[in-house]
Amino acid sequence: MDLTINKVNDEYTDSIFEEISQQFLNMAIEFEEQDEQVEQKNKNEQKEKLLNLNKKNDIYQLETPTPTPTPTPTPTPTPTPTSTSTSTSTSTSTCISCTCKNSKPSLFQIAIAKSYEEISNNLTEKTSTSTSTSTSTSTSTSTSNSHFTTPPRKNAVLPCQIANCTRRAALKRPKNGAQICRECFCSLFEDEIHHTITSTNLFNHGESVAIAASGGKDSTVLAHVLTFLNQKYNYGLDLFLLSVDEGITGYRDDSLETVKRNQNQYQIPLKIVSYEELYGWTMDAIVREIGLKNNYGLITID
pLDDT tens, 118-128?
666 666 666 66
Q: What does the alpha-carbon distance between residue 103 and residue 86 come to, in Å, rounded to a whole number?
A: 18
pLDDT tens, 166-199?
999 999 998 899 999 999 999 999 999 999 999 9
pLDDT, residue 205, reads 94
Q: What does the alpha-carbon distance between residue 229 and residue 227 come to, in Å, rounded to a whole number?
A: 6
| Bridge partner residues of 214 (DSSP) | none
Q: Is the pLDDT of residue 206 over 80?
A: yes
Query: What single string gives the DSSP state of each residue in 108-128?
Result: HHHHHHHHHHHHHHHHHHHHH
* DSSP category for residue 168: B
Q: What does the alpha-carbon distance between residue 269 and residue 236 come to, in Å, rounded to a whole number?
A: 16
Q: Is the pLDDT of residue 252 over 70?
A: yes
Contact between 162 and 171 under an 8 Å Cβ cutoff? The reply is no
Q: Where are the beta strands (DSSP E) in the chain?
A: 171-172, 179-180, 208-212, 238-245, 270-274
Q: Is the pLDDT of residue 145 over 50?
A: no
Q: Where are the beta strands (DSSP E) in 99-202?
A: 171-172, 179-180
Q: What does the alpha-carbon distance between residue 203 and residue 101 come to, in Å, rounded to a whole number?
A: 90
Q: What percent of the chain has pLDDT over 70?
A: 57
143: confidence class by pLDDT, cuts 50, 70, 90: very low
pLDDT, residue 34, reads 81
Q: What does the alpha-carbon distance between residue 268 and residue 238 come to, in Å, rounded to a whole number?
A: 9
- Mean pLDDT computed over every residue of the chain: 75
pLDDT tens, 276-298?
999 999 999 988 888 765 555 55
- The CA-based dihedral angle spanning residues 166, 167, 173, 176, taken in that order and rounded to the nearest 10 degrees: 10
pLDDT, residue 90, reads 40
pLDDT, residue 51, reads 81
Q: What is the mean pLDDT of residues 67-96?
A: 48
* DSSP category for residue 152: P
Measured in degrees and rounded to the nearest 5, phi and psi for residue 59 equal -65, -40
Q: What does the alpha-carbon distance between residue 192 and residue 294 come to, in Å, rounded to a whole number?
A: 47
